């Protein structure tokens, strides 16, 4: 998936023109000038709405129910609503939920996304049965969103992994049989500079819950500030800059039946 292409960028601008401001509700400079998942050269990660559109059109039944256990900003909910899907998302921080709701009131007409404030470990119990699980989880402590001890981004790595797996277990439990789930993830480094292998951790977590890996796409993102950072990083430590993420699609049950349920959604 080439997010650098002109067609992709044109589609992204069209979505952005709706007035989505997913960075509202977050502390500034969370990424310290990284460009992960951004709509532009931002200092806080913003989920790409074109990724949302493709995932919803390809892997969700028309008018289906989306469940997002790591809701974060407003993008995934607003795009779902604009495409006629029902959306339920959970975020731990009240200020983020309120910012998302305020944007939806302005942008969305009758069909509005639902955001719930709370810990996904608890709130998923009351989430609706899902036709599609779609999320972008926190990348460990790469961005620390709050000082709440229940916030995954505030946890030590081993604690993060345990909590992350439990949330995936609860999310897969909400997913209907013969349906898809999709997480957008990227690997990141520990304090010593070694990769955490977050992609494989996510795959194992889903497969342990009975949702098997069915598709993987590489999302190639713009170079952005990486071109400015890479020389210093490489000279000092031989670290290469990373400009891609992994779009992981899982299936719970029969993939042919899951695909049949998506009939009516647009093909690639």
Q: Residue 151's closest CA among 96, 142, 160, 134?
A: 160
Residue 59 pLDDT: 98
The model's confidence at residue 27, banded by pLDDT at 50, 70 and 90, is low
Residue 265 pLDDT: 59
Structure-block tokens of residue 263: 């009939």
Query: How many CA atoms are closer than 13 Å to the CA of 175, on its beta-carbon side?
Result: 30
Q: What is the pLDDT of residues 218-267, one digit of tens each?
A: 999 887 767 777 888 888 899 888 889 999 999 999 999 999 999 875 65
Give percent above pLDDT 90 in the chain.
69
Give me the mean pLDDT over the 108-137 stretch: 96
d(C-alpha 52, C-alpha 236), whole Å: 37
Does position 129 have pLDDT exceeding 90, yes or no?
yes
**Range with the lowest mean pLDDT among 39-43, 125-129, 174-178?**
39-43
- Burial annotation 165-193 (CB, 10 A radius, 16+ → b, else e): bebbbbbbebbbebbbbbbbbbbbeeeee
């Amino acid at each position: 998936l080439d997010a650098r292409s002109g067609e992709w960028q044109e589609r992204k601008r069209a979505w952005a023109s709706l007035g989505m401001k997913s960075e509202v509700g977050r502390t500034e400079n969370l990424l310290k000038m990284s460009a992960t998942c951004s709509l532009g050269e931002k200092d806080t990660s913003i989920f790409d709405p074109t990724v949302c559109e493709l995932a919803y059109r390809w892997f969700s039944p028309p008018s289906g129910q989306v469940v997002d256990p790591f809701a974060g900003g407003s993008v995934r909910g607003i795009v779902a609503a604009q495409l006629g899907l029902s959306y339920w998302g959970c975020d731990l921080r009240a200020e983020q939920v309120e910012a998302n709701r305020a944007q939806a009131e302005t942008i969305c007409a009758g069909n509005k996304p639902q955001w719930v404030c709370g810990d996904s470990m608890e709130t998923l119990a009351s989430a609706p049965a899902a036709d599609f699980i779609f999320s972008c989880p926190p990348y460990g402590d790469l961005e620390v969103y709050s000082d709440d001890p229940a916030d995954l981004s505030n946890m030590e790595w081993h604690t993060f992994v345990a909590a992350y797996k439990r949330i995936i277990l609860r999310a897969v439990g909400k997913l209907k049989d013969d349906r898809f789930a999709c997480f957008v993830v990227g690997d990141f480094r520990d304090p010593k500079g070694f990769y955490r292998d977050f992609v494989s951790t996510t795959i194992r977590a889903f497969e342990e819950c009975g949702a098997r890996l069915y598709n993987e796409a590489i999302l190639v993102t713009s170079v952005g500030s990486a071109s400015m950072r890479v020389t210093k990083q490489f000279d000092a430590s031989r670290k290469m800059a990373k400009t891609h993420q992994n779009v992981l699609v899982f299936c719970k049950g029969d993939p042919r039946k899951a695909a049949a349920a998506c009939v009516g959604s647009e093909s690639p």
